[in-house]
Amino acid sequence: MNEPFARQVRTQVARKLKARTDGTRVVPFGLGMMGLIGWSVSAPTVLGAALGLWLDRHHPGGHSWTLALLVGGLAVGCWTAWRWVARAMADLQRSDHDESR
């Protein structure tokens, strides 16, 4: 039998069995992760917009600090969320690899 394919099947079966036994813990963890990702995007966006509003009031100029810092905060938040998701996926793959041995 094709060894890499067999290893993938074993890994998927082990993951499904683990999900069945740990099912009660997975849902709250997933909801918590969604909340964490949501806050990691929304908090820098709102803080950037608030700082931009303050700068626009106290240092008016030819460009909008609010818009610039809102976009900057959104970019920082999306980058932070991407890092969280990438780290969680790496941990999941690492645990799958360790369980398949």
Q: pLDDT tens digits, residue range 16-31?
A: 777 766 655 666 777 7
Q: pLDDT tens digits, residue range 63-94?
A: 999 999 999 999 999 999 999 888 888 887 77
Closest among 27, 37, 32, 47 to 81, alpha carbons compared: 37
pLDDT value at residue 54 = 96
DSSP string, 31-57: HHHHHHHHHHHHHHHHHHHHHHHHHHH
pLDDT value at residue 27 = 66
Residue predicted with more confidence, 101 or 3: 3
Domain spans of the chain? 3-99
pLDDT at 61 over 90: no
pLDDT at 15 over 90: no
